Each structure stands twice: as structure tokens, then as C-alpha cells.
């Protein structure tokens, strides 16, 4: 999809005072070149008998655009209450005539038509299932795939029984807001879920993108860049007052904050769609999405939400084909939340599904490390290395193995592991720091001083400065260079106030220099 293109365009046809329908048509057709090459246009009408001329004119405008631009494909979704059978037949016979040239084009090229009419009919309490089914059959005969929108005050009853294929959908209205807000929210959540399904089934997955959509309201000209913004009444622009369409595009492309919320919106859509998925027999689709969405949330470091999605799959879909991978990902979330015992339980279960996974033993090592059982951690890291180098983040394995040795004062082994880790890291300040500690523990003060200086010269994190300066000071103190020690200890104190070990060591140095007042 081209960057900045509009994937879905929602037109709310509710003409207000002060602006003509012709003016609205002229404005919104200017957005067509900004559409994605495969886009959906929703035409939302409150009363089809009244609004049909404007809906028809919009369909004609889309058809004219497609005739001029042969590489575009547009699905048109008229969204409206179910009219009488006679009126529905007249309306959709007219639409069928408009799109017939594209149907013939598709037949000649043995491809799907570049324009499809996919009605979403809003059922009402007075509508009986038999007449509704006749309307659906009429549409099917004209190659129009219908869907049914069921308001929250209408029972879905026998509606499920008249849906013929998985392409025909039942939209169960979501609660909250006024009638229009509920409609837009329901359509939007369905759209997000369908996009999630495409993303989850893609053989090669990029990062989850937002849903590039625009909602235009004829009545007041307000433009929204997210269906949720309609409910919160936060338009990004106004069709009737903006200087040019290029201004709108710049506004949309600069609205970076919107995309930060898209992942949360995608996650929320799964729970909102629960009843709808059940009535459409699509519940299994949600499990695949939950797994991949959980993985995406891990990348965003939202481990709490990721765990919720992994648990949903594990509790409701016990025969999930990639059980070992999902358990491993769940264990990682527990690790990142410092829930080491929960992580270990999850890893034991994962091992039953994928006993040859080196990553399981690496994560077990991290659990033991977090629990401060460094001898066990070393054993698990060694087990991971025996299972297979190609499966592991080797730099991290060597680093944490080395750190475990350092914590039990096995400085020679720790240094050997840090030397192995060095070739895998570009940011080497932490490595040099711990290598310096190893040499310090081995009483090689010259080498310790050298590596601690390297750590200082390798752009360390601000929060690491205090410790680097402290151990530089400790090296100088061990060498009897108390004045040099004090210089670095003062720097350590400036980097982190309140460390008692810094003040204690400074006191010792002042004492050795016979500066007793400062020592006290």
C-alpha cells in the first residue's frame, strides 16, 4: 500500500443546511486519487428512499474514476436500513447497470470485477426473516455479496440461518454512543479485525500497521482520520473550510499520534468482536490473530497485554499448532516482568512440546539468574549452547554466563565468557566494565584500570557512569594513588548522589592522605 494512501473511505450522507449535495460531491471526489489501489468506500444513508439520488451519483462518480484509472479496484458498501422489496430491487438493479461494464471486463480477463457492490443492510424489528432472505437472494443473483447489520435492540434470531457463505457477514451492533456513533464504531471494529486477519495470515509479516481510513460527514463537512474520533467528536479538518486537499493529506501524514493507538485498538477489537465471531462461526480466526498480536505486543514491550493474548489462545484453543512457540513467548513476557517462577513453570510446559529448543534452556538460565541461583544459571546456559548455537543469541548467552561467573567470584571464567561475547556487541561499554571487574577481582590492577577506562570511552549509559567511576576510584585506591581515586570518586558522587559505598571509599582515601576532617 502506498504510504499515506486511504484504505477505507466512509461517506456519511446526511445533508445539512448551508451546503449543497453538489458541493459535497465535488469535494470528496477530489480524494479519489489518494485512495489505495484496492480500497473500500462505505456509503452510509439513513433513508435510502430519500438519499438514493445522492448515493447513485456517488456510485457513478466512483465508476467514472475507475474508467480513467485502470489499476484501481474499489468495493462499494451501501449501508442503509432495509427498504421495501420493490424499492430494493429498483435501487440495486440500477447499481447493477452502472457496474455491468466492469463485470464484463472481469469476465473477459477472467478476474474479479474492479468494482463490487457489497451492501450492508440494517435489519429492523419489523423485518421478517423470509422477506429478508428474498432480498438477499435478489442481491446474490446480481453478484452482490450482502451482509446484515443487526442493531442492539433487534434479536439476531433466525438471521444466522439465511447467511450463505463466509463472505456474507452478520454485524452485531456494538453498544455506546448515539445511533450513528454505534454504526461507525461497529463498521470500524469489523474493518480492523478483517485487516488483522489479512496480516495474521500473511506468509511474511511486517509490523502491524494502522487502518488508514477517512470519515467524511456531509452535514457539517467534518473529516475524521479514525472511526473512534467520530465518537469523541475530534475531527482533523473540515471539507468545506480547508484551503486544498493537499492540506488534508499533509494533516493526515503528520498525525503521528494516531498510529500509536492502533495496536491497542487492534487488541481491543478481538474482545469487542467476540459475540460477532461466534454468530459468524469465525471464532478460530481469533486465535491465530491473538497469537500474532501477542508477538507484536512483545516487540512493543507491552508484556502484560501480550500475556492476555497468549493466555486466550492457550485456554480456548488447546490444540494450537505452534504450542511450543507460544509458550516460549509467554515465558519471555514473564521474564521481562521479573516473574521468574511463573516463567520457569511455563518453560517446563514448553519443553514437553519442543524438547530440542535451545531457547528454552537459555530462558531457564535467565530465570535462575533472576532468582540469583548463579550456579544453576551457568548449567542452563551451558545446556543451551550444547543444544545448538544457531538457535541462540550467542552474545547474550555468553554475557549472562560471564555475569553469573562474576557473581560467584569466578573471575577467570567470567572473563573468558566476556571475551566470547565481545565479538557480538557493537555497544561494548558494559562488556569492558565487567571485564574490568574481572581483572580487578584477579588483582591485575593495570588491566582493570585499562578496561574501565575503555568502558568510560565507549559512550556508556548515563546510569552506568557512577559505577564505572566508582571502580576506577577503587583501582586507584588499591594502587595507593589516593588523590587520583578521589577525583573519580567525586565524579561517581556527582553521577549518583546518596551511594554509601562511594562516601565510605572517599573517607578511606582522605584518611590515607591524613585529611581527617574531610575523612569524617
pLDDT tens-digit readout, 221-249: 888 888 888 877 888 888 877 766 666 66
pTM (2 d.p.): 0.78
For residues 191 and 183, what is the distance between their CA atoms, to the nearest angstrom?
12
Specify the residue for cell string 548515563: 462
Sign of CA dihedral 227, 229, 231, 235: negative
Give percent of the chain with pLDDT exceeding 70: 93
pLDDT bracket for residue 262 (50, 70, 90): confident
Q: ∠ CA 309-314-316 to the nearest 5 degrees? A: 95
For residues 136 and 164, what is the distance between their CA atoms, to the nearest angstrom?
9
For residues 488 and 470, what is the distance between their CA atoms, to the nearest angstrom?
7
- What are residue 458's phi and psi, to 5 degrees? -105, 35
For residues 49 and 53, what is the distance between their CA atoms, to the nearest angstrom?
9
Burial of 289 (0-12, 13-18, 19+ CB in 10 A): buried
Bigger pLDDT: 111 vs 208: 111
Is 60 exceeded by the pLDDT of residue 17? Answer: no
Q: What is the dihedral of CA 257, 258, 261, 267, to 10 degrees?
A: -160
Specify the residue for cell string 462505505: 42
For residues 20 and 138, what is the distance between their CA atoms, to the nearest angstrom?
33
3-state class (DSSP) for residue 410: coil
Task: Tell me, rounded to whole angstroms, the distance of Cα 327 from its chain centroid.
Answer: 20
pLDDT bracket for residue 1 (50, 70, 90): very low
For residues 354 and 351, what is the distance between their CA atoms, to the nearest angstrom?
5
Is 90 exceeded by the pLDDT of residue 472? Answer: yes
Is 80 exceeded by the pLDDT of residue 454? Answer: yes
Tell me the fold of 6-267: TIM Barrel (3.20.20)
The answer to whether residues 228 and 265 touch, using CB atoms and an 8 Å cutoff, is: yes
By C-alpha distance, which of 520, 494, 489 is closest to 505? 489
> Pairing between strand 147-150 and 170-172?
parallel
By C-alpha distance, which of 62, 65, 71 is closest to 111? 71
By C-alpha distance, which of 102, 43, 109, 37 is closest to 74? 37
For residues 490 and 428, what is the distance between their CA atoms, to the nearest angstrom?
24
Gyration radius (Cα) of the chain, Å: 32
> Pairing between strand 237-238 and 222-224?
antiparallel
Q: For the chain, give every domain's residue range.
A: 6-267, 426-520
Task: Tell me, rounded to whole angstroms, the distance of Cα 148 from its chain centroid.
Answer: 29
DSSP sequence for 69-131? -TT-EEEEEEEEE---HHHHHHHHHHHHHHHHHHHHHHHHTTS--SEEE--EEE--TT--HHH
Burial of 145 (0-12, 13-18, 19+ CB in 10 A): middle
pLDDT of 245 reads: 66
Sign of CA dihedral 222, 227, 233, 235: negative
| Over residues 128-134, mean pLDDT | 88
Is 70 exceeded by the pLDDT of residue 252? Answer: no
Return the number of other C-beta atoms located less than 10 Å from residue 55's C-beta: 22
For residues 189 and 351, what is the distance between their CA atoms, to the nearest angstrom?
37
Is 70 exceeded by the pLDDT of residue 469? Answer: yes
Class of domain 426-520: mainly alpha
pLDDT of 422 reads: 94
Q: What is the dihedral of CA 22, 23, 28, 32, to 10 degrees?
A: 60
Bigger pLDDT: 107 vs 367: 367
Amino acid at each position: 500500500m502506498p504510504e499515506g494512501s486511504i484504505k477505507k473511505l466512509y461517506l456519511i450522507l446526511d445533508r445539512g443546511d448551508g451546503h449543497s449535495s453538489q458541493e459535497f460531491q465535488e469535494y470528496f471526489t477530489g480524494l479519489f486519487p489518494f485512495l489505495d489501489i484496492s480500497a473500500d468506500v462505505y456509503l452510509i444513508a439513513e433513508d435510502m428512499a430519500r438519499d438514493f439520488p445522492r448515493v447513485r451519483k456517488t456510485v457513478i462518480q466512483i465508476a467514472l474514476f475507475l474508467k480513467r484509472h485502470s489499476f484501481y479496484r474499489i468495493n462499494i458498501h451501501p449501508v442503509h436500513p432495509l427498504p421495501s422489496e420493490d424499492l430494493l430491487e429498483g435501487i440495486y438493479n440500477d447499481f447493477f447497470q452502472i457496474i455491468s461494464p466492469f463485470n464484463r471486463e472481469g469476465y473477459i480477463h477472467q478476474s474479479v470485477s474492479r468494482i463490487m457492490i457489497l451492501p450492508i443492510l440494517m435489519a429492523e424489528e419489523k423485518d421478517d426473516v423470509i422477506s429478508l432472505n428474498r432480498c438477499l437472494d435478489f442481491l446474490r443473483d446480481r453478484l452482490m455479496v450482502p451482509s446484515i447489520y443487526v442493531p442492539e435492540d433487534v434479536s439476531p434470531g433466525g438471521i444466522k440461518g439465511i447467511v450463505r457463505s463466509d463472505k456474507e457477514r452478520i454485524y452485531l451492533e456494538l453498544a455506546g454512543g448515539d445511533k450513528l456513533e454505534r454504526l461507525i464504531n461497529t463498521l470500524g471494529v469489523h474493518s480492523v479485525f478483517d485487516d488483522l486477519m489479512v496480516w495474521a495470515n500473511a506468509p511474511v509479516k511486517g509490523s502491524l500497521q494502522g487502518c488508514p481510513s477517512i470519515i467524511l460527514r456531509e452535514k457539517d463537512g467534518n473529516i475524521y482520520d479514525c472511526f473512534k474520533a467520530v465518537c469523541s467528536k475530534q475531527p482533523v479538518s473540515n471539507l468545506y473550510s480547508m484551503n486544498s486537499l493537499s492540506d488534508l493529506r499533509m494533516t493526515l501524514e503528520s498525525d503521528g499520534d494516531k498510529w500509536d493507538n492502533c495496536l491497542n485498538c487492534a487488541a481491543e477489537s478481538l474482545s469487542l468482536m467476540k459475540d460477532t465471531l461466534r454468530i459468524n462461526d469465525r471464532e478460530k480466526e481469533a486465535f491465530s490473530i491473538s497469537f500474532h498480536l501477542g508477538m507484536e505486543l512483545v516487540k512493543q514491550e507491552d508484556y502484560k497485554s501480550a500475556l492476555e493474548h497468549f493466555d486466550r489462545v492457550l485456554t480456548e484453543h488447546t490444540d494450537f499448532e505452534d504450542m511450543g512457540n507460544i509458550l516460549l513467548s509467554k515465558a519471555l513476557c514473564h521474564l521481562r516482568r521479573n516473574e521468574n517462577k511463573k516463567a520457569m513453570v511455563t518453560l517446563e510446559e514448553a519443553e514437553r512440546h519442543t524438547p530440542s529448543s535451545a531457547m528454552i534452556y537459555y530462558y531457564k538460565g535467565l530465570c535462575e539468574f533472576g532468582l540469583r541461583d548463579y550456579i544453576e544459571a551457568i548449567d542452563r546456559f551451558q545446556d543451551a549452547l550444547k543444544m545448538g548455537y544457531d538457535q541462540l543469541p550467542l552474545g547474550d548467552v555468553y554475557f549472562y554466563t560471564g555475569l553469573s561467573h562474576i557473581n560467584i567470584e569466578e573471575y577467570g571464567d567470567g572473563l573468558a565468557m566476556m571475551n566470547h561475547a565481545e565479538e557480538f556487541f557493537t555497544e561494548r561499554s558494559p562488556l569492558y566494565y565487567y571485564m574490568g571487574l574481572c581483572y580487578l577481582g584477579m588483582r591485575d590492577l593495570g588491566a582493570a584500570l585499562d578496561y574501565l577506562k575503555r568502558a568510560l570511552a565507549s559512550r556508556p549509559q548515563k546510569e552506568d557512569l557512577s559505577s564505572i567511576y566508582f571502580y576506577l576510584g577503587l583501582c586507584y585506591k588499591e594502587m595507593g594513588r589516593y588523590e587520583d581515586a578521589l577525583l573519580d570518586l567525586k565524579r561517581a558522587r556527582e553521577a549518583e548522589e546518596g551511594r554509601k559505598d562511594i562516601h565510605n571509599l572517599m573517607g578511606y582515601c582522605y584518611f590515607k592522605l591524613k585529611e581527617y576532617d574531610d575523612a569524617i
